Amino acid sequence: MNCIKMSENVFQLKVNIEEPGYLFEGLWPVPNGVSINSYLVKGEKTAIIDLTQDIYDLTQSFELQLEQAGAGLEALDFVIINHMEPDHSGLLRDLAKRNSTCRFVCSKKAAPLLEQFSSVPMDRVDTVEDGDSLDLGHGMVLHFHLIPNVHWPETMATYLDRAKILFPCDAFGSYGAVKDQVFDDQLSEERAAFFEQEALRYYANIVATFSPFVEKAINKLDSLEINVIAPSHGIVWRKDPAVIINHYKRYASYAKGPAEPEVCLVWASMYGNTGKSIASLIKGIRSEGVDITVFRAPQDDLGHMLAAAWKSAGLVFAMPTYEYKMFPPMAQVIEDLMVKKIKNRKVLRVGSYGWVGGAEKDFRKKTEKAGWDIMDSIEFQGCPTDSDLCAMEEAGKELAQKIKQFCNQA
């Protein structure tokens, strides 16, 4: 990987994590990889904005690129820490040891984390307030804007006014390894669509819980004239930064609902009885021309499920009763949807039971705070009868109609 010159004296340094089976944040599969981007700005003094993770051989590649950009860890004057999550700060501990003079610039909330996570002595840390700036000389001035809780409390964005580049760290980021095509204007239509999917899944997995803060951050940064958005994951937006801003606005709005007129259906089944209902549900939903994405728990990946659920106005859950409660893999899915605060959806639940059931009560209890509009559930003992299957097709159709109405009203 080579460093990329973005404009006069501004460079991007980038690594890709593509190891098979790697879980981002120890949790989320990234089958298409993920990039970690940082940026070097040279004035009279040199600053690096965000660092890289300290795994595999990433730091080695990172340092080579730093040298290509005409710097080296030892030559840095300032290290700007927009965000202390270790995917961007892993190298910090080593850097602080090898470079004994550079200053570390971060928000007040980040300062104790620098010490706790990376043993950076506090007398080397300069904290900044919202709106503060740092003059690197030769007209290169960095401005700092606090954007707390996108997605950690200490987060800030850095803005280079000369080139009108915003470095917002995780905000406006996406999954997906980035190779030769680094900028939005280099992407084919297909690659642009790929990165939109990767941005949605990144958002749903990493940022979704903090959507009200994303909206606040976007409103706050609105006053800046932005020519380029250079996030810490994914591609750089220089042709039209409004594209990713609008995607993020839309994703944040899904938190309150309604989202897109689509359905995310998740099903789980031990012996196939609940599984027999899926075709009828899909048929009913599709009969109204509503798109549906189908997942099975626990076989399918939660990260992809969350992305589909986040953008869908309708949710369908099909699961049997297990020890008087929901079948555990589905209970896990529901819990994760609650953590992500997926609210205000049109919802249908179906499922099989053996003797007295219990999944229904458990489901209602665990979702009561979500503000979901839940239709009458369809439960059946053992195998669904033809009349159960008809009822499910009807219910699917009714759900799809409700969704269309819900989305049209918004």
Ligand X SMILES: Cc1cc2nc3c(=O)[nH]c(=O)nc-3n(C[C@H](O)[C@H](O)[C@H](O)COP(=O)(O)O)c2cc1C
Residue 354 interacts, among ligand X, Fe ion, none and using kind-specific CB cut-offs from 5 to 8 Å, with ligand X
269 part of the interface to ligand X, by CB under 6 A? yes
Residue 272 interacts, among ligand X, Fe ion, none and using kind-specific CB cut-offs from 5 to 8 Å, with ligand X
Whether residue 392 contacts residue 364, with contact meaning beta carbons closer than 8 Å, is answered with no
Which CB, 88 or 397, lies closer to Fe ion? 88
Which CB, 270 or 279, lies closer to ligand X? 270
212 part of the interface to ligand X, by CB under 6 A? no
> Whole-angstrom Cα distance, residue 168 to residue 147?
9
Least Cβ distance, residue 325 to ligand X (angstroms):
7
For Fe ion, the binding residues in 160-179 under the rule CB under 5 A are 170
Which CB, 9 or 321, lies closer to ligand X? 321
Q: Which of 353, 363, 372, 406 touches ligand X by CB under 6 A?
A: 353
85 part of the interface to Fe ion, by CB under 5 A? yes
Question: Position of tokens 């159709």?
Answer: 397
- How does strand 34-42 pair with strand 10-17? antiparallel
**How many residues of this chain interact with ligand X, rule: CB under 6 A?**
20
Residue 321 interacts, among ligand X, Fe ion, none and using kind-specific CB cut-offs from 5 to 8 Å, with ligand X
Residue type at 372? Answer: W
39 part of the interface to ligand X, by CB under 6 A? no
For ligand X, the binding residues in 68-97 under the rule CB under 6 A are none
Which CB, 34 or 389, lies closer to Fe ion? 34
Least Cβ distance, residue 224 to Fe ion (angstroms):
21
Which CB, 65 or 205, lies closer to Fe ion? 205
CA dihedral (160, 163, 169, 175) in degrees, to 10, reads 180
Q: Which residue of this chain has its Cβ atom nearest to ligand X in the complex?
A: 354
**How many residues of this chain interact with Fe ion, rule: CB under 5 A?**
3
Cβ neighbours of residue 405 under 8 Å, at least 6 residues apart?
none
Taking contact as CB under 6 A, which single stretch among the options 17-25, 83-91, 98-106, 356-364 is the one that binds ligand X?
356-364
Least Cβ distance, residue 326 to ligand X (angstroms):
10
Residue 85 interacts, among ligand X, Fe ion, none and using kind-specific CB cut-offs from 5 to 8 Å, with Fe ion
Residue 357 interacts, among ligand X, Fe ion, none and using kind-specific CB cut-offs from 5 to 8 Å, with ligand X
Q: Would you give the binding string for ligand X spanning residues 303-322, x where CB under 6 A is met? A: -----------------xxx
Q: Which of 37, 65, 174, 273 touches ligand X by CB under 6 A?
A: 273
Q: What is the largest CA-CA distance in the chain?
A: 77
Which CB, 112 or 272, lies closer to ligand X? 272
For ligand X, the binding residues in 242-261 under the rule CB under 6 A are none
Residue type at 68? Answer: Q
Which CB, 170 or 184, lies closer to Fe ion? 170
> Whole-angstrom Cα distance, residue 105 to residue 51?
13
> Whole-angstrom Cα distance, residue 282 to residue 265?
9
Binding site for ligand X (CB under 6 A): 269-275, 320-324, 352-358, 382
Binding site for Fe ion (CB under 5 A): 85, 87, 170
